[in-house]
Structure 1
Amino acid sequence: MPVDVPAPCRCRWCTTDPLYQRYHDQEWGVPSRDPGHLFEMLVLEGLQAGLSWITILRKRERYREVYRGFDVRFMAAQTDADLEQLAEDPGIIRNRLKLRAARQNAKAWLRLAGEQDPVDWLWQFVGGKPQINHFADHGQVPVTTPEARAMSRALKQAGFSFVGPTICYAFMQATGMVMDHTQDCFRYPELGGKTGAAPQQQ
């Protein structure tokens, strides 16, 4: 008789949606130093503002299509007419402020890249290496930190939009700058957490 294999224990925020589970299991919290991925996640986190993350995940492939794989130069060169056309696409979030912010952020990224490596610049806010947290429960995980607030201020000064402290911390979590899988999650030890670590207090 086949043996039932128990489902892995995941972070409490992860639902039973297969798309959400794949994102949690394969991407969230994994350290990323790929500039294309970092730019994509920065844009997507800004687009999420006021919405659930699963909404963005479900529209992610369409965003990749209309933004040509989040091609920074293509996005930076979009005209107002291009944005108006995008605002009619039911496959994305048709918020004109967010569409303009995505274009603005592409331009800001190009300016930043002309001066220094955006990857190193972003990672500097966590000292260049992942911050491994040891939270026992999802309720202990903060929504922002001093590092995220510093990143937010710097991004705004560099011309980025929709990069508040909460968005920046979500970006840090998503790209593995901080590892916030809780101790009961099967990804916790896989991404550097240690069994028996003392829970962090907030």
Structure 2
Amino acid sequence: MKNNNLKRCPWLDQSKPDYVKYHDDEWGVPVHDDQKMFEYLTLESAQAGLSWYTVLKKRENYRQLFDNFDVQKVASYDEDKIQALLQNPGIIRNQLKIRAAVNNAQRFIEIQKEFGSFCEFLWGFVNHRTIVNDLTSLDDYPAQTEVSDRISKELKKRGFKFVGSTIVYAHMQACGMVNDHSIDCYKRNQIIEQFKQA
């Protein structure tokens, strides 16, 4: 059972245990695993125009239907598989987003071949170091930054879909490229201490 007396980020609805668990265990923790990175990128793209909580509630369905985000398998999805996904109410049945996931898997693999890993490519935009921001209220949270603009532009140039700067910034927050836990959130310093970089 999570300790609800702990101070947490102002955006978090603490009445939702699964949301609290995501905040406490995952959000902002640096990710250096390509499979996890692909999962986050796919889910962030699915989120476009929706709330993250809407996607979070469907994440287990996504994991089952998208072969646990095995990028090689997703990249090979054919039209029959896409149509089957479009019929499944367990995920967001948006044709453009589902097709984007398959396309993005193919582009993801191209980057892996070029850079050795997608994480190597993406973390390079922040010099392989988490950007730690000083946020106190909801008004302090940016929707996008100069770095997310650059990443978005590069991903689009490489053929990715649903990777606007706002989606990219949400992805950076989720995978710990930025630490956007508020100054008074207990998780902020915990992550800083856990992932101290020389």
TM-score (norm 1): 0.91
Aligned match of 1:150:
150
Classify 1:7/1:155 alpha carbon distance in 2 versus 1 (closer, same or farther; 3 Å).
Answer: same
Greater CA radius of gyration, 1 or 2?
Answer: 1
TM-score (norm 2): 0.92
Deviates more, 1:133-142 or 1:97-106: 133-142
User: Could you list the runs of 5+ residues in structure 1 that have no partner in the other structure?
Assistant: 194-202
| Paired amino acid for 1:111 | E
The CA deviation string for residues 21-59 of structure 1, in whole angstroms up to 9 with x for no partner, is 000001000111011111110111000001111110110
CA RMSD of the aligned region, Å?
1.2
Aligned match of 2:86:
87
User: Could you list the runs of 5+ residues in structure 2 that have no partner in the other structure?
Assistant: 194-198
Aligned match of 1:114:
113
Aligned match of 1:78:
77
Name the count of aligned residue pairs: 189
The CA deviation string for residues 77-135 of structure 1, in whole angstroms up to 9 with x for no partner, is 11112111111101000000000000000000111111112111100111111001111
How far does residue 6 in structure 1 lie from its aligned partner after superposition? 6.1
Rounded Cα–Cα distance in structure 2 between residues aligned with 1:47 and 1:111: 21
The CA deviation string for residues 124-166 of structure 1, in whole angstroms up to 9 with x for no partner, is 1111110011112221111100000000011111111100000
Aligned match of 2:8:
10
Rounded Cα–Cα distance in structure 2 between residues aligned with 1:57 and 1:84: 23
| Paired amino acid for 1:133 | N
Aligned match of 1:24:
23
CA contact (8 A) 1:137 1:183 kept: no
1:50-61 paired onto structure 2 within 5 Å: 50-61=49-60
Rounded Cα–Cα distance in structure 1 between residues aligned with 2:120 and 2:113: 13
Give the secondary structure class of the aligned counterpart of 1:69: helix
| Paired amino acid for 1:109 | F
Classify 1:6/1:57 alpha carbon distance in 2 versus 1 (closer, same or farther; 3 Å).
Answer: closer
1:92-171 paired onto structure 2 within 5 Å: 92-116=91-115, 117-171=117-171
Runs of 4+ in 1 over 3 A off after TM superposition: none
Aligned match of 2:196:
none
Identity %: 42
| Paired amino acid for 2:7 | C
Rounded Cα–Cα distance in structure 2 between residues aligned with 1:156 and 1:114: 18
